[in-house]
Amino acid sequence: MADGDYVIGGIFPLHYNQEMPDINYTYRPAAVKCNGFDPRAFRWALAMRLSVEVINQSGKLLPNHTLGYKIFDSCAYPLTGQRAALSVLNGPFQAHAPMCSSASPLLAVIGESGSAQSIVVSKSLHPFRIPMISYFSSCACLSDRTKYPNFFRVIPNDDYQVKAMAQLLLRYGWRWVGVVRGDHAYGLFALQGLLRELKGTGVCVAYQEMIPLLYNQQKALEIIEVMRSSTARVVVVFSAEGEMTPFLKDYMEQNVTGIQWVASEAWVTASVFTTSKYYTYLGGTIGFGIRQGQIPGLRDYLQMVNPVRYPSNPMVQELWEALYGCSPSPSLSPSRPLLPPCSGQEAILDQHSAYMNTSSPRVTYNVYKAVYAITHSMHNLLYCQPGTGPFLNHSCANSNNVYPWQVQHYLQEVDVSIAGETIKFDWKGDSIPYYDIINWQKGSGGNIEFITVGVFDGTKDPGKELVIQEEKIVWAGHQSKVVVSVCSASCRPGFRKAVRHGEPLCCFDCVPCDGGKISNQTDSIDCEACPEDYWSNADGTLCILKVVEFLSHDAMGIALMVIAVVGACLTAAVLGVFLHHRTTPIVRINNSELSFFILLSLTLCFLCALVFIGEPTSWSCMLRHTAFSITFSLCISCILGKTLVVLAAFTATRPGDNIMKWLGPKQQRFIIICCTLVQVLICAAWLIAAPPFPIKNTQAYHSKIILECSVGSQLAFWCVLGYIGFLACLCFILAFLARKLPGNFNEAKYITFSMLIFCAVWISFIPAYVSSPGKYTVAVEIFAILASSFGLLFCLFAPKCYIILLKPEKNTKQHLMLNKK
Ligand code: TRP
């Protein structure tokens, strides 16, 4: 401590461990015994001392005044931190004074390190309205002005750190991460903040583990087991050296590898972990380091410290013990186990990085900034122009009696630039958010070096804060490839995510999009339906126009066409043969005129099959059914006529019957025309009322549009078919009656047979027609037309042609009449 006109306090965790004194409230508790000297915190304390000395010497700030300081040890423990705070208020000799009267005017406190300690220190100082500036407490909880009105800090609030961390995780596609934290306010609030930031980002936390405050190996091994067995390869740690050191020791003993650590600012630049043995396990660690800066003269100042120079300072003793493992003057520390003596002149080398790391001071630099912030506030306070002051009636503070709350006012207003960096506090006491992104890489000696690979500048626009030089990064396992840490690999386009029941959102299955739906991005949540007339491609990634299908001039169309034309030609050929042999008995005996008619209409029947092939248009649709039905009616009417004639001819042989008179050629024609006319009328009514028209059928198939003819009126369609069926049945029945009638060439047999075939074809057509899809409906119809036409052609004309062409000797009247009984 050093006296001065204005005194500031400093609280540092000079030891990282303490023995709890026995407190039973029956006697005065013994002084706290701290052990485990922390050279790093000692450096921070020295930085404070140096800054104060420099300020006093230079005289630029606070001329004619001196700054004093009091530094206390918190032993990195909240309760001891509170003792330190009270000691700062009282002065060191409180034990000897009957009352706390020796208190010197304390204006501000620099401290504490850990947030948990800062909370108690702030609460202890609050009643006295003494402002404090923390150099390392980043917990977001401390930004609550109603609870901690006297709290300022020169380290960014953790809200920014967790935001940056969430961005980092997203940037590297780490969607499945574990979180390990220490059991303190810092760990708790940082974890909560991280979970808040990760909500809705698609990053899930696989596990959250807490290292207990009182380190416990069994619990640590449990945590390590969780880390080993989890598929999350990335682990975020909010913890400090205190608990990380034993934890990492156990971690290394368990020989777990392949973990990518993401470090919080509290341990990312901890020099304890720089030794080479850590590299295999911790190399590649990435994290957020607080801003660094240069403190002029720090290096020399630290090097000047040695036990010879400060023989009575127990801290320097402990520093030597910690750095060299020897005791310069054993008499000063009798309680500690005996260490080999040493001269105290040993040179402090750079390898004592815990103490000597001055190349990139971060927390040390924060201490420096805090001292300057206070000094500048004091300076502004003292150089207040009377009458323009900020206090009641524009008064200024009285330089002989400065109150801490007045300092707080100026602290809140302070806005100075130190080495190009602005120091100021927002209304919550927070400073400007800025982090270096630090990557742990292998140094020349196999040790770990902290390489800055980017920055997070919270003052930039959202989304632009994080700037990383990717090429500089070395990942865990000494790789240049980013570690993959996902619960489920992402879904390709054409698939969508299906969340697994009871598991976090990051764990999902990929299911292919249903037909007609697509997803064109990776990791789609849903498949989109294609617009009308479009359908998904096989991969489910694109909507493509549906194929328009109709029976066209493809293989099937052409085959049917050929068959139809062949049929027509064959019929024409038969007609030719009959015409040529029209004088022969076999043609004449069987009513040649009707035969010619039948052949003609059969030719038309074959030809009307052609109308069914090709793209349906309104004309072809109308033509299709009408042409087909009329030609078929004509054909069957002719056959019916013939049957009637046969029937009449034989029944007429009975005496007294005059039936043949009624069935002369005129009457025959009349019957034929009448029968056909009925069909013509039905068709005319159909065409007028509800004509068939082409439609696009999108229902039958999802993936294609079928261009087909709608019949317009189902009733008309089935009437037309029914009428043909009726004629055919009538014909069949009559022919059946006449089949047994005598005559060597009784046509009735053949007509019966042909009608049987005809009916069979059309009856089997109905189910086939109703059930066959798309263009096959049309094909089935054509097939039925062709089959029935061929049936008629062969049954009725093949036997006659056989006789005419191959057995002309049978083609005589005698022969034909021969067997007539
Ligand atoms: N930023 C941490 C905090 O606010 C740094 C820290 C210092 C720390 N000492 C600690 C964290 C001890 C946990 C334990 O607390």
Q: Is 136 in the pocket of ligand 1 (CB under 6 A)?
A: yes
Question: What DSSP designation does 140 have?
Answer: G
Q: Which residues pair with 410 in a beta bridge?
A: none
Predicted pLDDT at 25: 82
Indicate which residue's Cα is closest to atom 4 of ligand 1: 137
The residue written with tokens 């109905």 in the block is 766
Angstrom distance (rounded) from CA 313 to CA 346: 17
Pick the closest to residue 701 from 546, 584, 819 (CA basis).
546
Predicted pLDDT at 333: 55
pLDDT tens per residue across span 230-271: 999 999 999 998 889 899 999 999 999 889 999 999 999 888
CB 453 within 8 A of CB 323: no
For the CA of 186, the closest atom of ligand 1 is 15
State the first-to-last Cα distance of the chain, in angstroms, to the nearest integer: 152
Angstrom distance (rounded) from CA 220 to CA 217: 5
**How many other CB atoms are found less than 10 A from the CB of residue 253?**
11
Q: How far, in Å, from the CA of 766 to the mean position of ligand 1?
A: 86
Q: How far, in Å, from the CA of 118 to the mean position of ligand 1?
A: 10
The CATH number of 555-649+660-817, from 3.40.640.10, 3.30.1360.120, 3.50.50.60, 1.20.1070.10, is 1.20.1070.10
Burial label for 388, CB within 10 Å (0-12, 13-18, 19+), is: exposed
Architecture in CATH for domain 6-19+29-157+347-424: 3-Layer(aba) Sandwich (3.40)
Residues 6+ apart with CB under 8 A from 723: 629, 633, 678, 679, 682
Q: 208 is written with which tokens?
A: 């959250």
Q: Is 114 in the pocket of ligand 1 (CB under 6 A)?
A: yes
At residue 821, the 3 state secondary structure works out as coil
Q: How far, in Å, from the CA of 307 to the mean position of ligand 1?
A: 30
Inform me whether the pLDDT recorded for 122 exceeds 80.
yes
Cα-flanking dihedrals φ and ψ of residue 71, to 5°? -115, 130
Inform me whether the pLDDT recorded for 508 exceeds 60.
yes
Q: How far, in Å, from the CA of 137 to the mean position of ligand 1?
A: 6
Q: How far, in Å, from the CA of 685 to the mean position of ligand 1?
A: 95
Q: 402 is written with which tokens?
A: 């400065």
For the CA of 13, the closest atom of ligand 1 is 9
Predicted pLDDT at 407: 92
Q: How far, in Å, from the CA of 542 to the mean position of ligand 1?
A: 53
pLDDT tens per residue across span 11-37: 999 988 777 777 788 887 777 788 888
Angstrom distance (rounded) from CA 578 to CA 592: 8
Q: pTM score, two decimals?
A: 0.71
At residue 527, the 3 state secondary structure works out as coil
Segment 293-314 mean pLDDT: 87
Q: How far, in Å, from the CA of 669 to the mean position of ligand 1?
A: 114
Angstrom distance (rounded) from CA 792 to CA 24: 121
Q: 701 is written with which tokens?
A: 């198939």
Predicted pLDDT at 337: 62
Q: Is 115 in the pocket of ligand 1 (CB under 6 A)?
A: yes
pLDDT tens per residue across span 340-384: 888 777 777 766 667 877 778 899 999 999 999 999 999 999 999
Pick the closest to residue 718 from 816, 821, 629 (CA basis).
629
Pick the closest to residue 371 from 133, 148, 46, 105 (CA basis).
133
Q: Is 184 in the pocket of ligand 1 (CB under 6 A)?
A: yes
For the CA of 116, the closest atom of ligand 1 is 15
For the CA of 158, the closest atom of ligand 1 is 1
Pick the closest to residue 571 from 542, 594, 601, 551 (CA basis).
601
Angstrom distance (rounded) from CA 690 to CA 692: 7
Q: How far, in Å, from the CA of 658 to the mean position of ligand 1?
A: 127
HSE, side-chain direction, 13 A CA sphere, residue 803: 19
Q: Is 242 in the pocket of ligand 1 (CB under 6 A)?
A: yes
The CATH number of 158-294+433-472, from 3.40.50.2300, 3.40.50.9100, 2.60.120.10, 3.30.70.20, is 3.40.50.2300
Predicted pLDDT at 94: 47
Q: 781 is written with which tokens?
A: 């119809």
Indicate which residue's Cα is closest to atom 9 of ligand 1: 114
Name, of 265-279, 361-375, 389-403, the range with top average pLDDT: 361-375
The CA-based angle 392-395-399, given to 5 degrees, is 125
Q: Is 81 in the pocket of ligand 1 (CB under 6 A)?
A: no
Indicate which residue's Cα is closest to atom 14 of ligand 1: 240
Task: Indicate the pLDDT class of residue 133, thresholds 50, 70 and 90.
Answer: very high
Q: Within the chain, how many helices (H) and strands (E) appear? A: 24, 26
Cα→Cα distances 777→129, 550, 771, 780, Å = 94, 10, 8, 5
For the CA of 266, the closest atom of ligand 1 is 5
pLDDT tens per residue across span 666-722: 888 888 899 999 999 999 999 998 888 888 887 777 778 888 888 888 899 889 889
Q: How far, in Å, from the CA of 312 to the mean position of ligand 1?
A: 31
Angstrom distance (rounded) from CA 483 to CA 234: 8
Pick the closest to residue 537 from 575, 574, 599, 493 (CA basis).
493
Name, of 187-196, 575-584, 735-744, the range with top average pLDDT: 187-196
Indicate which residue's Cα is closest to atom 12 of ligand 1: 114
Q: Which residues pair with 710 in a beta bridge?
A: 693
At residue 806, the 3 state secondary structure works out as helix
Cα→Cα distances 361→16, 295, 437, 496, Å = 20, 8, 15, 50
Q: How far, in Å, from the CA of 112 to the mean position of ligand 1?
A: 9
Indicate which residue's Cα is closest to atom 8 of ligand 1: 114
Question: In testing the pocket of ligand 1, which one of 77, 115, 154, 213 has its CB within 8 Å of the most ligand atoms?
Answer: 115
For the CA of 138, the closest atom of ligand 1 is 4
Q: How far, in Å, from the CA of 130 to the mean position of ligand 1?
A: 22
Indicate which residue's Cα is closest to atom 10 of ligand 1: 114
Residues 6+ apart with CB under 8 A from 819: 742, 743, 744
Q: How far, in Å, from the CA of 594 to the mean position of ligand 1?
A: 113
The residue written with tokens 């420096």 in the block is 368
The residue written with tokens 């008619």 in the block is 597
Cα→Cα distances 634→555, 577, 804, Å = 31, 22, 26
Segment 492-517 mean pLDDT: 89
Angstrom distance (rounded) from CA 735 to CA 726: 14
Helix%, strand%, coil% for the chain, nearest 5:
50, 15, 35
Cα-flanking dihedrals φ and ψ of residue 596, to 5°? -60, -40
Residue % of the chain over a pLDDT of 70:
93
Q: How far, in Å, from the CA of 188 to the mean position of ligand 1?
A: 11
DSSP structure string for 750-776? HHHHHHHHHHHHHHHHHHHHHH--THH
Segment 603-615 mean pLDDT: 89
Task: Indicate the pLDDT class of residue 804, thresholds 50, 70 and 90.
Answer: confident
Indicate which residue's Cα is closest to atom 13 of ligand 1: 240
Task: Indicate the pLDDT class of residue 182, thresholds 50, 70 and 90.
Answer: very high
pLDDT tens per residue across span 641-659: 888 887 777 766 655 556 6
Q: Is 266 in the pocket of ligand 1 (CB under 6 A)?
A: yes
Listed in order, the ranges of the chain carrying CATH 3.40.50.2300 are: 6-19+29-157+347-424, 158-294+433-472
Q: 509 is written with which tokens?
A: 């299955």
Tell me the one-letter amino acid at 709: C
Task: Indicate the pLDDT class of residue 744, thresholds 50, 70 and 90.
Answer: low
Inform me whether the pLDDT recorded for 638 exceeds 60.
yes
Inform me whether the pLDDT recorded for 515 exceeds 90.
no
CB 597 within 8 A of CB 571: no
Angstrom distance (rounded) from CA 234 to CA 639: 89
Q: Is 137 in the pocket of ligand 1 (CB under 6 A)?
A: yes
Inform me whether the pLDDT recorded for 512 exceeds 50.
yes
Q: How far, in Å, from the CA of 253 to the mean position of ligand 1?
A: 25
Residues 6+ apart with CB under 8 A from 30: 21, 22
Task: Indicate the pLDDT class of residue 60, thresholds 50, 70 and 90.
Answer: confident
Q: Is 113 in the pocket of ligand 1 (CB under 6 A)?
A: yes
| Residues, the chain | 821
Please give the mean pLDDT across all residues of the chain: 86
Q: How far, in Å, from the CA of 135 to the mean position of ligand 1?
A: 10
Q: 676 is written with which tokens?
A: 């056909």
For the CA of 137, the closest atom of ligand 1 is 4
Listed in order, the ranges of the chain carrying CATH 1.20.1070.10 are: 555-649+660-817
Predicted pLDDT at 97: 47
For the CA of 243, the closest atom of ligand 1 is 14
